[in-house]
Structure 1
């Protein structure tokens, strides 16, 4: 999304926050802080744990060729802003303090606003379904959620506040940081479908309570990952990390899958659809990725051609190419449908391959459309979809040198050497292509 909006010419401020405090086990208002729990187990400072996970995340996102956000704030770096928000919500009469903790009063908020409008939850049903909890909590109602929690003396992460030592609730940080860096009402808020309720619903309530406006115009939720048709989870033993995918070191994996294969695979599904990881699907993605990379190399070679000396437009071919180009943008404009866009890219690739083999003359498209076809393909693959060739730079030089030896052997009719070089390259996934205009290579698809 960030790449495409930027490509269209928008100035995008992309904020991605790091939750390093306030997210309790079980995603509830009771229990241990997830970071603090890990810190105790491993005898580390909580910030060491947070930094380890942040560094690992950055490493994996870099491998997947994702662009860093404009701002990446941390919850622990915005405690004063979160305390101010709690005070503002208290001043509106939509929160209450009990024994050093502050809770959002959902029922009172619902008198004027609609709690549950994003997820479609009905508050009366939520209240009815949680009645058995009444009397077991200091909350007025079980549906209320924590804005600030009192810290026990042994709690590792705690700050001074007007209500005593404590720490912020999980939902509060997002409202504080989005308001600070994007304003009270901004364009797009993303997240997984599992965050729609209660997390994003609570953000909407907080935003309306203190800023008197919905925080975001659009909420975009990506769907969940499944493994061989089952929901991915540690308890099921089918939880696979990115590093395990990259190395193939997992019982469910038949081989390693490169970062760009994983990126391509994710893009072949619409973000609101479920994504099922299986060896069969990943191997198919590997082939698809290599096809796009072969097309990228071909398109870049065609771009190096000198301007056309003459033109002989073929109206049918012109219309076909123009339609594919329109469909590419139409797919991305329709809720960032990368799956459809990739399908149209393959149609464009057929034209590129025909141009390369001479089956389709560049003159039939004319100089302007010929260049646009190549440019759009390269841009969509690299700038919008964010795919890149994974071959090291020095390997390209070695390949060219080996193809030179291959060419000499072929000229000398040393077919034993020709076959040996072909076999050696095929063993590492490279196919030698003997063409009218010379010898080339491609990834084995």
Structure 2
């Protein structure tokens, strides 16, 4: 009798322990949601139908907005490397940008932060941030499937290597595809496989897409797709294929979202979609009833205004819009905030978490954002801006609501009260970053 009673007590304790372990596991899972960051290449705000664009079909991205939040005022840097350095480190380029095509190895990326917090991490798509074999792993990504890591953009015959029959690198190992494969399919499969393999533990998947960057060429869904094509011999390709590329890009976004839904983890997964900079210059789209030229490489809005959409079932209210200013330094603190990752020990974070806005709260909306832009060390453009005005460090001051292409600087005399108030705030913002570049250079040279 006593033995039976003791066995029952043991079973009761074991049962309680199991419940406790499950509870702890569940709480850990709740406190560490999965994060999937999708970054389209050369996709301006105007290309997404949900934003008011009418030239292309983006049903999957639109559905992401319908089931989540859409931001109206997100701004990137005008080209890829400056945007990615800012995105991955949470710092403005004035602090840590070095040269085009490189992320300084002294920097800590969001990959490092998530890996150190116990997340499984992966990156797939476009790299172009360092040619070392271990570059992705150095920055915290345990698994990688990348285009343009150590292997160049073109093969020895001059063919572009990213789309048909691509050349990709898996964890630093180069692989040539020559059986009609399509690069964007391969990297999206890699992300889907990673998500499925890690569905029972917290994961961070960063998907910097290869689409919709030039060369503009047929996709597998195009009528004239040629599976034997070895890649474009021209950098730009033919702009007539851009709509096909947008449709395929949208299709792949839907593929990732469908995988998350099929695994039943959408309530514990924050999905963020954005473009890395404005649309390329040959492309002219229809946006809210008017022609909208691509502005990649320019600091005008058509070079920096990008889509930002986020979905987190049960957390983000459906079909929400937010007009708060967001820039690429804000992504790292936002994702870490969502994942309960402490970043207080990081040297400097310029970004501000917009997680409260995602969750329907006021948060701390930015009064201004800042940009230090000099991708190839030839022509620095530095400015601070709000939703209406922009002030360059050269003194040029624009009402960007009324002067979209910044053709006529405002006279600093006889400004109205609204303009004066914005000018004073923006000049203080510029002053905040005025000497940072010089100070860092002096420290590096050992002068103090």
**TM-score category of the 2 structures, normalised to the smaller one:** under 0.3
TM-score after normalising by structure 1: 0.20
Calculate the TM-score normalised by the size of structure 2: 0.20
Structure with the larger strand share: 2
Q: Higher helix share goes to which structure? A: 1
Q: Which structure's CA Rg is the greater one?
A: 1
